[in-house]
Amino acid sequence: MMLIVQNLFARIKLYLQTMNIKEKFGFKVKELREQKEYSIEYLANISNVDRTYISDIEKGKRNVSIEIIEKILTSLDTDFRDFFNDKNFKR
């Protein structure tokens, strides 16, 4: 069992290393949203960002403006420093 978990973590780490910045940002948004048990619809409502736009962000399909980043991070109750200090954003 431990070997399976170690292999899973190794795969996730490799996957994160190959992601571009849009994908990393979207992955982190989705991770935080799910930790808070927010639906995309709920996050869209509290951040005043369109639901389909948030979905595209989470899929790494959008170049996000700084204003949208601020709305989303505020709605997820985090700030720029904590969000981008994540080791997954390091190259």
CATH architecture for residues 21-86: Orthogonal Bundle (1.10)
Per-residue b or e along 25-55, where b marks 16 or more CB atoms closer than 10 Å to that residue's CB:
bbbbbbebbeeeebebeebbeebebeeebbb
- Taking only the tens of pLDDT, the chain with its 91 residues reads 777 767 776 776 666 677 899 999 999 999 999 999 999 999 999 999 999 999 999 999 999 999 999 999 999 999 888 898 876 666 5
Residue type, 83: F
Sequence spans of domains, the chain: 21-86
Q: What angle do CA 38, 47, 22 make, to 5 degrees?
A: 80
In this predicted structure, what is the pLDDT of residue 3? 74
